[in-house]
C-alpha cells in the first residue's frame, strides 16, 4: 500500500465520523450527509499533495467539508426546512428507541439554526478545539466564543421547546 | 428540561454512522477521475474528428476557388481556439483545490472566473462568431458558382437564420445559465460569510 494511501486511510479513520456529523447536522439527511462526506474525502485525496502544513490536517479537512456543504446549497437550498425535519424523523423511524428519538429531536433542533450556526455547533458538540473552529470559520477566536455562547443557548432553547411539543 | 451538557452527551452517544467505507471512497476517487477523463476524451474525439474531416476535405476535394480553402483554414482555427478555451476553463473549475481556500478567497476566485467566462462568452465569442461567419462567406463564393441560384439563396438564408438562432437564443441561454450557476454559488458563499462575520 502506498504511503499516500496509508495516510489517507489514517485521515479517513480519524476524521470521517466528525465530518459525517458536520454534514448530517448541516443537511439533516443521512443520504446527503453520506454524499457530502464522500465528496469531502475525494477532495482530500485529490489535494493531499497540496497540503503544506499551514494548518492542522483536521482543520484543513473541516475547511473542505464546510466548503463542500456550502456548495451543496446550490442544489439543495430549495428544500424547505420542514422537509429536512421530516427526513430526520424518517431516518430514525425504524423502531425508534427513546435515545434515537432524542437524537432525532436534536438534529431537528440543529436544522432550525442558521447555516453557520449548524456548522459551528456540530464542531462544538464533537469537541473540536476552539482555535480550530475559528480557523475553519475564518473568524477570530474572541468572536467565535461569543457566537458559541449564543448558539449553545439557542440550541438548548430550541431543543427543550421541541421536546415539550 | 435539558442543559447544553446533556445535549452534548446525547450527541456523543449517537449511533447514526456513515455507511460509507474507505474502500467506497477510493472506488469513487478512481470513478470520478474516469468520468472527467471520459468526458474530455469524447470532447477531444469529436473536435479531432471535425478537424480531420475539414483537413480531409482540404486535401481530397478539389475546390475551384482559393476562398474555400481559406474558409476551411478559418474554421479549423475557430474550432481549435474554442475547444482549447473551453477545455482550459473546464479543467480550471474542475480543479478542486480552490475549494480549499477560505471563504473570501473562494468568492474572489469565483468572481474572477465569472468575469473571465463573461468576457469569453461575449467579446471572444463575438470574434469567434465573426470568423465563422467570414468562413461561411468565403465558402459561399464557391457555392455561388456551383449551386443553382435559388438553392444558393436558400443556403445563405439557412446559414443566416442559424447564426441568428445561435446568437440570440442559444448563446443567451448558455450565458444566462452559466452566470446564474456561478452567481448562485457566490451568493451562497457571501451569505454564509456574512453570517460568520456578524457579531
Tens-place pLDDT, residues A42-58? 888 877 777 766 668 88
Q: Distance, in angstroms, between A85 CA and closest chain B CA?
A: 16
Residue B2 in domain: no
Q: What is this structure's pTM? A: 0.57
The answer on pLDDT for A74 being more than 70 is no
The answer on pLDDT for B15 being more than 70 is no
Residue B65 in domain: yes
> What residue in A sits closest to B105 (Cα-Cα)?
A138
Q: What is the mean pLDDT of chain A?
A: 80
Q: Distance, in angstroms, between A87 CA and closest chain B CA?
A: 14
Q: Which domain range does residue A83 map to? A: 3-164
The answer on pLDDT for A89 being more than 60 is no
Task: Give the dihedral of Cα atoms B128, B131, B135, B138; nearest 10 deg.
Answer: 160
Residue B16 in domain: no
Tens-place pLDDT, residues B27-40? 776 665 556 556 66
Q: Outline where chain B has alpha helix (H).
A: 4-12, 22-60, 66-94, 103-119, 125-146, 149-165, 171-197
Q: Which domain range does residue B132 map to? A: 27-197
Total domain count for chain A? 1
Residue B6 in domain: no
Q: Cβ separation of A34 and B18 shorter than 8 Å? A: yes
Q: What percentage of chain A carries pLDDT values higher than 90?
A: 15
Total domain count for chain B? 1
Q: Cβ separation of B25 and A24 shorter than 8 Å? A: no
Which residues of chain B have a CB within 8 Å of the CB of A146? 199
Q: Cβ separation of B11 and A106 shorter than 8 Å? A: yes
Residue B73 in domain: yes
Q: List all residues 6 or more positions away from A72 whose beta carbon is below 8 Å from its beta carbon.
A: A26, A27, A32, A36
Residue B13 in domain: no
Which residues of chain A have a CB within 8 Å of the CB of B3? 156
Tens-place pLDDT, residues A93-103? 455 677 778 88
Q: Cβ separation of A50 and B7 shorter than 8 Å? A: no
Which stretch of B28-32, B33-37, B77-81, B176-180 has the lowest confidence by average pLDDT? B33-37
Residue B77 in domain: yes
Residue B141 in domain: yes
Amino acid at each position: 500500500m502506498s504511503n499516500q494511501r496509508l495516510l489517507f486511510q489514517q485521515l479517513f479513520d480519524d476524521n470521517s465520523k466528525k465530518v459525517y456529523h458536520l454534514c448530517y447536522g448541516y443537511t439533516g439527511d443521512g443520504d446527503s450527509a453520506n454524499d457530502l462526506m464522500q465528496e469531502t474525502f475525494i477532495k482530500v485525496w485529490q489535494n493531499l499533495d497540496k497540503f503544506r502544513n499551514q494548518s492542522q490536517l483536521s482543520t484543513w479537512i473541516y475547511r473542505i467539508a464546510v466548503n463542500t456543504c456550502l456548495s451543496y446549497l446550490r442544489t439543495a437550498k430549495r428544500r424547505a426546512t420542514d422537509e429536512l425535519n421530516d427526513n430526520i424523523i424518517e431516518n430514525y423511524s425504524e423502531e425508534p428507541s427513546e435515545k434515537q428519538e432524542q437524537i432525532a429531536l436534536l438534529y431537528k433542533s440543529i436544522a432550525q439554526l442558521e447555516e453557520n450556526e449548524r456548522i459551528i455547533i456540530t464542531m462544538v458538540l464533537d469537541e473540536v478545539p476552539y482555535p480550530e473552529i475559528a480557523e475553519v470559520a475564518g473568524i477570530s477566536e474572541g468572536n467565535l466564543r461569543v457566537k458559541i455562547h449564543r448558539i449553545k443557548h439557542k440550541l438548548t432553547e430550541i431543543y427543550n421547546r421541541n421536546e415539550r411539543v | 428540561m435539558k442543559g447544553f451538557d446533556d445535549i452534548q452527551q446525547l450527541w456523543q452517544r449517537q449511533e447514526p454512522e456513515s455507511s460509507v467505507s474507505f474502500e467506497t471512497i477510493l472506488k469513487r476517487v478512481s470513478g470520478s477521475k474516469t468520468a472527467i477523463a471520459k468526458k474530455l476524451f469524447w470532447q477531444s474525439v469529436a473536435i479531432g474528428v471535425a478537424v480531420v474531416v475539414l483537413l480531409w476535405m482540404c486535401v481530397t476535394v478539389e475546390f475551384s476557388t482559393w476562398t474555400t480553402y481559406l474558409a476551411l483554414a478559418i474554421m479549423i482555427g475557430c474550432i481549435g481556439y474554442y475547444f482549447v478555451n473551453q477545455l482550459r476553463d473546464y479543467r480550471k473549475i474542475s480543479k478542486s483545490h480552490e475549494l480549499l481556500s477560505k471563504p473570501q478567497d473562494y468568492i474572489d476566485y469565483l468572481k474572477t472566473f465569472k468575469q473571465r467566462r463573461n468576457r469569453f462568452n461575449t467579446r471572444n465569442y463575438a470574434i469567434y462568431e465573426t470568423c465563422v461567419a467570414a468562413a461561411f462567406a468565403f465558402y459561399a463564393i464557391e457555392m455561388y458558382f456551383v449551386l443553382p441560384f435559388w438553392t444558393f439563396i436558400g443556403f445563405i438564408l439557412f446559414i443566416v437564420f442559424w447564426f441568428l438562432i445561435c446568437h440570440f437564443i442559444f448563446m443567451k441561454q448558455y450565458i444566462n445559465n452559466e452566470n446564474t450557476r456561478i452567481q448562485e454559488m457566490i451568493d451562497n458563499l457571501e451569505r454564509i460569510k456574512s453570517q460568520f462575520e456578524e457579531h
